[in-house]
Amino acid sequence: MIRFDGVTKKYPDGTVAVDDLSLTAPTGKITVLVGPSGCGKTTSLRMINRMIEPTSGLISLDGQDTGRMNEAQLRRGIGYVIQHAGLFPHRTVVDNVGTVPRLLGWDKKETLERSRELLDRVGLAPELADRYPSQLSGGQQQRVGVARALAADPPVMLMDEPFSAVDPVVRDQLQDVFLDLQSELGKTIVFVTHDIDEAIKLGDQVAVLRVGGKLAQISDPAYLLAHPVDDFVADFVGRDRGYRSLQFQPAPKLPLTSERTLLLGESTAGVSGDWVLVVDDSHRPLGWVEPARVSGEVTSEHLHRGGTVARASGSLRGALDAALSSPSRRGVVVDDEGELVGTVRAHEVLSLIEATDRPDEDRADAFAEEGA
C-alpha cells in the first residue's frame, strides 16, 4: 500500500506542482492518476521513488516512511516504466531486462533465465533477445520496458504514460497484455496518464487531478463516470460518459433470439430474409450475408464483417454495441468459447439498461474513507 499524506511539492520559483495530496494506492490494485498537463501527476509519481523530494507531507510504503529509506534500495524495489521506454541503447534487449537483477547481485545465469522468461511473458519472440533497442518498434520497446520493470519481481510498479507514444492499435494491445499480466501478478501499481479512456480501462481506482496539483476526485471508474463530483471532472471524463459507463455494468441475462445460420460454402438457395448469419464448423460467427445478393455458395467474400460480437458474460456496453454495429440490427452474442448463443436487439438492451441501477453513492464513500 502506498499512502500520500498531505503531500505538497513547491518549487523555489513559487509554482505549486502538487498541493496537499492525500490518497492511498491499495496493495495489488492499479491506481491511475489522470489529469490535464500541469496537474502534478508525474511529479506525484516521481515522489514515490524519490526521484523528486516532496516539500512537505509524508509518503509511505506499507507503513514505512519512504523519506527515511535508502534511495537506491527503495528504487530497486520499485519497477519503473516511462513513456519512451528509456531503454539502455547500448545494451541488448535481454541485458536491458536484466538490469535490476544484476544491480541486486543476482548471478549471470539466473538473470538471463529470468530475463528470457519475462520477454516471453510480455509476448516478445525469443530471437529479439539479442537485438539492440534501436532495432525494435516502439511497441516492442515498450514491452521490453515493462519486462525490465518486472525483472526483480518488485511489489510496486510506477508507470508514467507508458503507452502514450505508440499508435492506438498497439496501445490497445499493450494495455491488454498489461492487464493480463496484472491479473496474474497483482502488483501495487500507480499509473499516470492524460488519457481518461486509458484511465478507465486500466484503473481499479482513478484519481482525477486538476491543474495546480489538487485532487479533484478519487473513485472506481464506474462511479467516476456516473457521479463526477464537479464541472471540471464531468468535463474531463468526457461527453459520452453515459455510454462508456455501460462497460462496467455486467450484462444481466440477455433476452436472446436464436438465428437461422449458414455454414461457409453452403448454398443460399431457399433461404429467405434480409440478413443471415454465417458460422464456421464450431458454430463461431463469421459474418452476415444478404441471401438475395448471393447466387450459389456463400464464400468469405460475401461476408459483411462490420458487426462487433458481444460476450454473454460481458458488459452491457458490449451487448449494445453489437446491436448497434450489426448490419441486421441484431447483435451477435457468443459464449466464452466464442460459440454463437443468439442475437439481441438494441431496444432489448436499452430496456435492460433502464432496469439497472446506476452505481450507488456508497461506493465513493468507501474510497473516500480509505483515502483519508
Q: 47: alpha, beta or left, given left = phi > 0 and alpha = psi -120 to 50?
A: alpha
**Residue 66 engages other proteins in binding (rule: CB under 8 A):** no
Judge whether 100 and 74 are in contact, CB under 8 Å. no
Taking CB under 8 A as the binding criterion, the range among 21-29, 88-96, 245-253, 319-327 that sits at the site for other proteins is 88-96
The DSSP symbol for 239 reads T
**Residue 88 engages other proteins in binding (rule: CB under 8 A):** yes
Interface mask toward other proteins for 149-178; x: CB under 8 A: ---------x--------------------
Rounded to whole angstroms, the Cα distance separating 338 from 321 reads 17
**Residue 241 engages other proteins in binding (rule: CB under 8 A):** no
Rounded to whole angstroms, the Cα distance separating 46 from 171 reads 23
Which run of H or of E encompasses 87? none
Instruction: Please report how close the Cβ of residue 197 comes to other proteins at its closest, in angstroms.
Output: 24
**Residue 143 engages other proteins in binding (rule: CB under 8 A):** no
Rounded to whole angstroms, the Cα distance separating 171 from 167 reads 6
Give the one residue of 32, 33, 100, 289 binding other proteins; rule: CB under 8 A.
100
Give the one residue of 82, 93, 207, 323 binding other proteins; rule: CB under 8 A.
82
**Residue 91 engages other proteins in binding (rule: CB under 8 A):** yes
Taking CB under 8 A as the binding criterion, the range among 9-17, 82-90, 196-204, 343-351 that sits at the site for other proteins is 82-90
Taking CB under 8 A as the binding criterion, the range among 80-88, 193-201, 293-301, 322-330 that sits at the site for other proteins is 80-88
Instruction: Please report how close the Cβ of residue 58 comes to other proteins at its closest, in angstroms.
Output: 21
Judge whether 22 and 207 are in contact, CB under 8 Å. no
Instruction: Please report how close the Cβ of residue 80 comes to other proteins at its closest, in angstroms.
Output: 4
Rounded to whole angstroms, the Cα distance separating 160 from 164 reads 9
| Residues between 181 and 200 that touch other proteins (CB under 8 A) | none
Rounded to whole angstroms, the Cα distance separating 219 from 361 reads 11
DSSP-derived 3-state class of residue 36: coil
Instruction: Please report how close the Cβ of residue 82 comes to other proteins at its closest, in angstroms.
Output: 6
Q: Which residue lies nearer to other proteins by CB, 100 or 340? A: 100
Retrieve residue 275's grid coordinates: 440478413
Among residues 317, 351, 319, the alpha carbon closest in space to that of 225 is found at 317
Among residues 308, 321, 315, 331, the alpha carbon closest in space to that of 246 is found at 315
**Residue 99 engages other proteins in binding (rule: CB under 8 A):** yes
309-311, strands of its sheet edge to edge: 309-311, 330-334, 340-345
Which amino acid, 116?
R
Q: Which residue lies nearer to other proteins by CB, 133 or 359? A: 133
Judge whether 62 and 40 are in contact, CB under 8 Å. no
Size of the site for other proteins (CB under 8 A): 29
Q: Which residue lies nearer to other proteins by CB, 158 or 333? A: 158
Q: Which residue lies nearer to other proteins by CB, 104 or 350? A: 104
How far is C-alpha 296 from the geometric centre of its chain's CA atoms?
45
Give the one residue of 10, 84, 116, 194 binding other proteins; rule: CB under 8 A.
84
Which spans of this chain sit near other proteins (rule: CB under 8 A)?
49, 51, 71-76, 78, 80, 82-91, 99-100, 103, 131-132, 134-135, 148, 158
